[in-house]
Structure 1
Amino acid sequence: MLHTLAVLVENNPGVLIRVAGLFTRRGYNIDSLTVCQTEDPELSRMTIVVNGDDQIIEQVRNQLSKLVVVHSVSDLTGESAVDRELALIRVQVSAETRSAVLQTVDIFRGRVVDMGRTNITVELTGDIPKIDAFVHAIQPYGLLELVRTGKVAILRSEA
């Protein structure tokens, strides 16, 4: 099962390698990792997506919490959270397929950010299933390049 961990860490050089090293030493694969400074310039937030059962995730959380550079670890899996991913997708187009590709982009609420004679680049933001569905829909036209940010997530506000 995929788990989304929100990890608040010190914003210092070497922190990323220490956190990633913890996963490597235990043989756990990171499916997605995003890191950015928070509203506090002293702290960064890591959103880590990792595959494992509840026991493995609990072990990972405990090990992360032991690192001096880690301030907090939260498992957002099963919580009421908002998550998004950004993708840039370059698609092959021709005079015959351009309008169909643009229509598909519109259906998925994507945005064309670059256009050439033989390809277009689309920016798409959404949850992982939406990005996956778009990639699947666009493949028959010729998927040339795909870049994804990885998941970012935040707890929903209380009502």
Structure 2
Amino acid sequence: MQHIFSLSINKKPGIIIRAALIFERRGFDIDFMEISGEDSSGLNKMIIRATGDSSKVVQIEKQLEKLIDVVKAKYISSELATDNKLQLESKPALLKAV
């Protein structure tokens, strides 16, 4: 099943690979990853859509929040991720979810 996560991050070297490794260690495949530019607070937004076991979603969210450069991690939904017509670029509410 596909899942969407939204993160507020300090864009520092290595943050992308550290986040990706959390998913990889739990058997998830990342289908989509996008990092937007800085907002007014100086943070970047990272959107990750991944496929994996629903029972591990809470664990992934907690592990992402433990990363030093992640300010906030939020699981958005699995229902939005399975919508084949989903265009994250056209859903500004998703980018503001965190």
The CA RMSD over aligned residues, in Å, is 3.0
TM-score scaled to structure 1, two decimals? 0.48
Give the residue type in structure 1 aligned to 2:57: I
Q: Which has the higher strand share?
A: 1
Give the Cα separation in 2 of the matches to 1:36 and 1:26: 25
Relative to structure 1, is the Cα distance of residues 78 and 25 closer, same or farther in structure 2, using a 3 angstrom cutoff? closer
Give the Cα separation in 1 of the matches to 2:52 and 2:60: 10
Q: Which runs of 5+ in 2 are unaligned?
A: none
1:34 is matched with which residue? 34
1:121 is matched with which residue? none
Aligned pair count reads: 93
**Displacement, 1:42?**
3.1
Q: Which has the larger radius of gyration?
A: 1
| 1:4-33 Cα shifts (integer Å, max 9, x gaps) | 110111122221111112222333211111
Q: Which runs of 5+ in 1 are unaligned?
A: 84-126, 131-149
| 1:30-79 Cα shifts (integer Å, max 9, x gaps) | 11111122313732111001123432111111111111111111122168
Give the Cα separation in 2 of the matches to 1:27 and 1:45: 24
Give the residue type in structure 1 aligned to 2:36: C
| 1:66-118 Cα shifts (integer Å, max 9, x gaps) | 11111111122168x8x9xxxxxxxxxxxxxxxxxxxxxxxxxxxxxxxxxxx
TM-score scaled to structure 2, two decimals? 0.72
2:77 is equivalent to residue 77 of structure 1 = yes
Indicate the structure whose relative CO is greater, using CA pairs within 8 Å and at least 6 residues apart.
Answer: 2
Following TM superposition, the consecutive aligned residue runs of length 4 or more in structure 1 with deviations greater than 2 angstroms are 24-27, 127-130, 150-157
